[in-house]
A and B are shown apart, each in its own frame.
Chain A
Amino acid sequence: MSDTQLRLGIGLVVASILLPSLLGSAYWAHNFLIVNLFVTVAVAQNMLLADAGQVSFGHGAVFGMSAYLVGIISGLWGYDYAIGALAGVGGALALGLLFALPSLRVQGYYLGFVTLSAAVVFPEMLVAFNDITNGINGINRTVPSLTAPLFSGLSWLSFLVMALTVATLAGHAWLRTTSAGRKMRVAAVSPEAAMTLGLDPGRLRFLAFTIAALVTGLAGTLYVPVLGFVSPYAFRVDLSIYFFFCVIVGGQGQLLGPLIGAWILYLVPNALLADLANYRLLGYGIIALLIMLVFPDGVVGSIVSFSRRHRLRARIAGIGIDPVLSWAGIRPSQESGAAITVRGARKQFNSLAALGGVDLTVMAGSVHGLVGPNGSGKTTLLNVVSGFIPLTAGSVQVRDRDTTRMPAFRVARLGVGRTFQTPRVFEQMSIWENLEIGADVHSGNNNWLMEMLEPFRGEWSENNPDLLAHAQRRVLEILRTVASDADILLLDEPAAGLSAIERRDFARLIRFLRDRLGKTVLLVEHDLALVWKVADRITVLDAGRIVAEGPPDAIATDPRVRALFTGSPDA
Chain B
Amino acid sequence: MAKETIIEVNDLKKHYGHVKAVDGISFKVLKGEVFTLLGPNGAGKTTTLEVLEGLKTHDSGKITMFGKTLRTNVPLEIRERIGVVLQENNFIEHLTVTEILKMFKNLYPSPLKVNEVLKIVSLQEKRKARVEKLSGGQRQRLAIGTALIGNPDLIFMDEPTTGLDPQARRNIWDMIEKFKNSGKTIFLTTHYMEEAEMLSDYVYIMDHGKIIANGTPRELVSSFGEEKIIEARVNTNNGKISELKEILGDIEIEESKVIFEASDLPKTMKSFLDWAEANSVEVEDLSVRQSNLEDVFLKLTGRSLRD
A and B associate in one complex: no
